[in-house]
């Protein structure tokens, strides 16, 4: 029987249930595409539009509902209240549960350190953004209120600046956007994963964002990189600047930044302290990775690594074994652990309910247009209120002509319902004005009170005219926005937390564990960029130096094999290398061609080669346009063996020469029109940025340029006082024949 029953089951016709939906006991076939369209698309759109993607005010709906609830609770002025109380009140606007609401509050809180400018002033344990395992306390233990900066996001919210919409059950009204007076969408970091799309917006410095927004309003062709050099993260760390990648992100809204931890070596304890890590990682992730490397034997220089973070902030400590090189170790950890990480950008923002990926310029343009609409709505609201007040006062002015008549009309009217019509007829005023007059207290029906009230008529008329004038001019509306941006930048602007390291390309590191031998060498550099490193023994045995036809010696100097070189090129880049990277040569050989050896770009050639030594002095740049720049050598100091730095010096004029300056001394500058000037480098103030334009030192006549620069001691000028000047810029003095640079050899470094 069992066998027969089994055969019957197998012989039953099979039903394809892949496309079956319907009530219990009934089936209906439906194409999978129709199912997706009817059932899945509304869900996907809800996640995109109402949950995961931020809007132009910089907030997701969950952020907006929480902050607006706190605003209505009066927490902008009142003391902190229990977080659980806030969470409970927020559930009137946000139906997603108390846990989700509290997580939102934690992220916005000052204690969590997720945002550069937190919106929630918190008290208690809110965890840390840089810790994966540090759990925040329950909402019943913590307290919160709105931070002072929230004055800028709720400013004029009661002046009809934004639309108010129903909450999920229609019982309350909430704002569709918050009228932020600054581009919060770029100031607050935001991340969201929707259905089929995502958003990842890095944070920028508030002051720099406000300056950029103002600059773009003044000039739509403004170079954003001049006022917004890069993102700024709440965890600090270092940003490895790559101009091409940064411009791509600013243009398209997509790309990535490289971030690196900040560290210092403590010689007393032979240890390394890491005090800031990339925003995109956590302390525990780093500790786990280093621990794995130690266990597998990949790192032998570390005795111990631990987390010593406390109330003072993050601190990861690495105990080094004797003889370990901290620089080499950190470069290795940067390559193999999240101590150097990447932040991927995807500036996806909802604009009028539609997701759109935009660059920084386009975001600020959209924000400005939206903010202009907010300002116009505020002006309409203010004009309406003032016109209402003016209308009432003009009605009051009418009864000033005959106060006794107004009293008589009210006293002689038998029915209360006829008081308003009788006043309207008696003074020719409308119902609103008549109601206002009728509600005046008996004690105020006197000439002095009415005169005092009606004096405001002229002021109101003038104020309304001024507001209407602003409303009718886009330029003046932008002026209001710029004024607000300047006020916000001044009041809430902070120094950058993330330091920008101006380097874009790391060249292959030196071999681990291999000591570089150090011995005396003589360096020869030719005018066309050939370099020779010759040992003392080989130099004694060699004859005349060989150069390519048409080439000659630029300079030679005695140094050591471990010495570093800075190679400046005609494309405003600087290559850093060591002499140990070059083979020992002979006088009879041409040597290594620097553009080929350093992998320079096509058309790139060597302008100057410098030996920076211990990076304690300055680099002195002289340009053909008569300007000079004094830049600290430390601006070119890097951790790895070799790097290429873009924007190494100013690109406004061709570089004539550069020299290392360990102490201030007189220099001689020659020009193409037969003049020379001698001045002390102490007259030049050091500049903080590498690509500074410098200051004018020589006033050049038309078609003249700087032709030659050297130290006064090497210039061979017979009478230095003839050319010396104490004021800059200077026109210099006409050269005498005996002081001509033609008789001088090229100066040595």
β-pairing verdict for 28-29 and 564-569 = unpaired
6-11 long-range contacts, CB within 8 A, separation 24+: none
Phi, psi of 359 (to 5 degrees): -80, 175
Measured in whole angstroms, the distance separating CA 418 from the mean position of its chain's CA atoms is 67
β-pairing verdict for 316-320 and 302-307 = antiparallel
Coil, helix or strand at residue 30: coil
Tell me the C-alpha distance between 153 and 57, whole Å: 9
Cβ–Cβ under 8 Å, residues 597 and 642 = no
Tokens standing for 477?
Answer: 């509306």
CA 635 → CA 262, 619, 645, 687, distances in Å?
17, 9, 10, 10
Cross-strand bridge partners of residue 472: none
Coil, helix or strand at residue 617: coil
Instruction: Map tokens 């004690």 to a residue.
Output: 443
Tokens standing for 600?
Answer: 């320079």
Tell me the C-alpha distance between 502 and 225, whole Å: 13
CA angle 618, 640, 662 (to 5 degrees): 15
Based on the residue annotation, tell me whether 141 is a catalytic residue of this protein.
Answer: yes
DSSP state of 733: E
Tokens standing for 411?
Answer: 């006293």
H or E element that contains 274: strand 271-276
Closest to 96 measured CA to CA, from 119, 121, 65: 65
Tokens standing for 87?
Answer: 């969470």
Tell me the C-alpha distance between 46 and 48, whole Å: 5
Instruction: Map tokens 């334009």 to a residue.
Output: 693
Closest to 334 measured CA to CA, from 501, 522, 559, 561: 501
Tokens standing for 319?
Answer: 């105990």
| DSSP secondary structure string for all residues of 526-551 | ETTSEEEEEEHHHHHH--SPP--TT-
Closest to 174 measured CA to CA, from 322, 67, 281: 67
Tell me the C-alpha distance between 508 and 644, whole Å: 11
Q: Please give the order of strands across the beta sheet that includes 198-201.
A: 190-193, 198-201, 340-346, 254-260, 238-240, 499-501
Instruction: Map tokens 């620069």 to a residue.
Output: 709
| Exposure b/e, 630-649, CB count within 10 A at least 16 = b | bbbbebbebbbbbbbbbbbb
Cross-strand bridge partners of residue 702: none
Cβ–Cβ under 8 Å, residues 135 and 141 = no
User: Which of the residues 40, 43, 141, 519 is marked catalytic?
Assistant: 141
Q: Is 345 exposed, middle or buried (0-12, 13-18, 19+ CB in 10 A)?
A: buried
CA 2 → CA 5, 7, 14, distances in Å?
5, 9, 21
H or E element that contains 351: strand 348-351
Q: Is 434 exposed, middle or buried (0-12, 13-18, 19+ CB in 10 A)?
A: buried
Sign of the torsion formed by the C-alpha atoms of 175, 180, 181 and 185? negative
**Positions marked catalytic:** 141
């Amino acid at each position: 029987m069992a066998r027969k029953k089994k055969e019957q089951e197998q012989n039953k016709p099979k039903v394809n249930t892949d496309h079956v939906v319907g009530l219990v006991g009934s089936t209906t076939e439906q194409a999978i595409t129709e199912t997706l369209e009817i059932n899945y698309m509304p869900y996907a759109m809800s996640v995109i539009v109402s949950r995961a993607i931020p809007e132009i005010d910089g907030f997701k709906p969950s952020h907006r509902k929480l902050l607006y609830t706190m605003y209505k609770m009066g927490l902008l002025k009142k003391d902190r209240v229990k977080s659980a109380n806030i969470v409970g009140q927020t559930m009137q606007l946000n139906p997603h549960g108390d846990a989700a609401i509290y997580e939102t509050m934690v992220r916005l809180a000052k204690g969590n350190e997720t945002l550069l400018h937190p919106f929630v002033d918190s008290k208690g344990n809110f965890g840390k953004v840089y810790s994966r395992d540090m759990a925040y306390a329950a909402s019943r233990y913590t307290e919160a209120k709105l931070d002072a900066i929230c004055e800028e996001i709720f400013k004029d919210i009661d002046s009809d600046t934004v639309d108010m919409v129903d909450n999920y059950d229609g019982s309350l009204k909430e704002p569709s956007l918050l009228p932020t007076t600054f581009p919060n969408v770029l100031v607050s970091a935001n991340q969201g994963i929707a259905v089929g799309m995502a958003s990842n917006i890095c944070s920028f410095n508030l002051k720099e964002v406000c300056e950029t927004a103002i600059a773009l309003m003044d000039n739509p062709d403004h170079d954003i990189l001049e006022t917004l050099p890069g993102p700024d993260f709440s965890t600090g760390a270092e940003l490895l600047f790559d101009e091409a990648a940064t411009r791509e992100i600013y243009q398209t809204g997509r790309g990535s930044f490289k971030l690196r931890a900040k560290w210092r070596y403590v010689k007393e304890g032979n240890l390394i302290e890491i005090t800031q890590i990339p925003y995109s990682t956590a302390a525990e992730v780093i500790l786990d990775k280093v621990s794995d490397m130690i266990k597998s034997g990949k790192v032998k220089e570390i005795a111990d690594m631990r987390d010593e973070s406390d109330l003072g902030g993050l601190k990861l400590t690495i105990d080094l074994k004797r003889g370990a090189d901290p620089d080499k170790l950190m470069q290795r950890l940067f390559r193999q652990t999240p101590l150097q990480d990447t932040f991927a950008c995807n500036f996806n923002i909802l604009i009028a309910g539609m997701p759109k990926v935009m660059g920084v310029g386009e975001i600020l343009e959209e924000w400005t247009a939206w903010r202009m609409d907010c300002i116009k709505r505020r002006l309409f609201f203010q004009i309406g209120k003032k016109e209402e007040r003016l209308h009432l006062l003009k009605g009051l002015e009418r009864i000033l002509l005959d106060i006794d008549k107004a009293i008589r009309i009210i006293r002689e009217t038998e029915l209360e319902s006829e008081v308003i019509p009788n006043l309207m007829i008696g003074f020719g005023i409308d119902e609103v004005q008549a109601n206002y007059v009728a509600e005046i207290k008996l004690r105020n029906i006197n000439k002095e009170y009415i005169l005092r009230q009606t004096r405001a008529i002229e002021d109101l008329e003038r104020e309304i005219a001024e507001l209407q004038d602003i409303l009718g001019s886009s330029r003046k509306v932008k002026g209001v926005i710029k004024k607000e941006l300047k006020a916000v930048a001044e009041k809430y602007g902070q120094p950058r937390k993330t330091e920008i390291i101006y380097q874009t390309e790391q060249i292959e590191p030196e071999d681990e564990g291999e000591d570089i031998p150090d011995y005396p060498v003589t360096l020869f550099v030719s005018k066309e960029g050939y370099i020779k490193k010759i040992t003392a023994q080989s130099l004694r045995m060699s004859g005349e130096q060989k150069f390519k036809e048409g080439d000659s010696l630029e300079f030679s100097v005695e140094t050591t094999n471990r010495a570093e070189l800075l190679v400046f090129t005609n494309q405003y880049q600087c290559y850093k290398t060591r002499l140990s990277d070059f083979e020992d040569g002979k006088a009879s050989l041409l040597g290594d061609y620097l553009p080929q050896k350093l992998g320079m770009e096509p058309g790139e050639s060597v302008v100057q080669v410098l030996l920076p030594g211990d990076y304690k002095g300055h680099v002195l740049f002289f340009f053909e346009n008569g300007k000079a720049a004094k830049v600290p050598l430390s601006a070119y100091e890097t951790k790895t063996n070799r790097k290429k730095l873009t924007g190494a010096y100013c690109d406004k004029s061709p570089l004539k020469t550069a020299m290392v300056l360990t102490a201030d001394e007189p220099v001689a500058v020659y020009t193409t029109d037969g003049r020379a000037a001698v001045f002390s480098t102490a007259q030049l103030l050091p500049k903080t940025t590498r690509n500074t334009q410098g200051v004018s030192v020589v006033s050049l006549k038309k078609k003249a340029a700087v032709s030659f620069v050297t130290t006064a001691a090497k210039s061979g000028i017979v009478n230095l006082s003839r050319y010396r000047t104490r004021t800059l810029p200077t026109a210099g003095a006409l050269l005498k024949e005996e002081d001509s640079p033609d008789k001088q050899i090229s100066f040595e470094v």
